Amino acid sequence: MLLVHGLADGASVVPPLQRELRGDGVGPFIPVACNAFGPDIPTAARKLGDQVELACAHGAGRAAVVIGYSLGGLIARYYVQRLGGDAYVPLVITLATPHGGTATALLAPAHPLLRQLRPGSELLVELAEPAEGCRTRFVAFYGDLDEAVIPAARGRIDHPDLKARNVLVPGVGHLTLPLHRPVIDEMRALLAAAQVTFAVCPAQGSSP
């Protein structure tokens, strides 16, 4: 289980989320940091891919599941959708991720990574391109009071080629959603099921 945090929330979200999800054979957990001042989302996605493939190689053939919070969800999605990561990751769970961009990024500094979060950015246009054959299943949790993903509906994955389930969580915001008890409970159920239903990772060097 790889946990990918957002811009500046690693300590406040990942450790408590890991504690809440641990148990019932779920894990082990590998926190994945993303640099808010890194070059861009594709670069971060390639680094995530290195960690996923390394985890699979040392995981006795177990498949990898990626949980991405906020920006981390877009990094995970780019990896599986555009870089072939669907060969290794059968399930991606995103929490408060701006899949459709966010209006708040329009007010952010003109950094390349932050520009990619703007609605209609080149990266989001790329993610909207056909993705036929993508094997990864997505579950996207989004809150209707999210103060960072504006409008809140941009936290959904709406792509005709992706197997995505969008879960609206009423009454919660950006920082509270990942530790909201109903969200935790549903993620625990998803991860427990993943332990017994997903196929093993492909051997290193094999074709997806």
pLDDT at 32: 84
Whether 204 maps to a domain, the answer reads no
pLDDT at 208: 39
**Higher pLDDT pick, 22 / 189:** 189
Is a pLDDT exceeding 70 seen at residue 201? Answer: no
Whether 203 maps to a domain, the answer reads no
Distance CA 104, CA 165 (A): 25
Whether 190 maps to a domain, the answer reads yes
- Mean pLDDT, all residues of the chain: 87
Q: Tokens standing for 180?
A: 């909201």
Closest CA to 168 of 155, 180, 181, 158: 155
Rounded to 5 degrees, φ, ψ at 84 are 80, 15
**Angle, alpha carbons 110-92-90 (nearest 5°):** 135
pLDDT at 207: 42
**Higher pLDDT pick, 208 / 125:** 125
Q: Give the alpha-carbon dihedral of 69, 75, 81, 84, to 10 degrees.
A: -120
Q: The domain containing residue 88 runs over which residues? A: 2-197
Assess whether the previous peptide bond of 151 is cis (omega < 30° from 0).
Answer: yes
**Higher pLDDT pick, 35 / 128:** 128
pLDDT, tens digit, for every residue of 156-186?
999 999 999 999 999 999 999 999 999 999 9
Distance CA 142, CA 207 (A): 34
Whether 202 maps to a domain, the answer reads no
Whether 17 maps to a domain, the answer reads yes
Distance CA 80, CA 184 (A): 23
Average pLDDT (121-148) is 96
Closest CA to 42 of 116, 96, 111, 105: 116
Specify whether the CB–CB gap between 6 and 76 falls below 8 A. no
Q: How many residues belong to the chain?
A: 208
The structural domain count of the chain equals 1
Is the Cα torsion angle 26, 149, 131, 45 positive or negative in sign?
Answer: negative
pLDDT band at 19 (very low <50, low <70, confident <90, very high): confident
Find the helix or strand (DSSP H, E) in which 190 lies: helix 181-197
pLDDT at 199: 45
Whether 51 maps to a domain, the answer reads yes
Whether 206 maps to a domain, the answer reads no
**Higher pLDDT pick, 99 / 8:** 99
**Higher pLDDT pick, 21 / 134:** 134
User: What is the distance, to the nearest Å, from the Cα of residue 28 to the centroid of all Cα atoms in its chain?
Assistant: 17
Whole-model pTM? 0.90
Whether 179 maps to a domain, the answer reads yes
CATH number at 84 reads 3.40.50.1820
Distance CA 161, CA 41 (A): 21
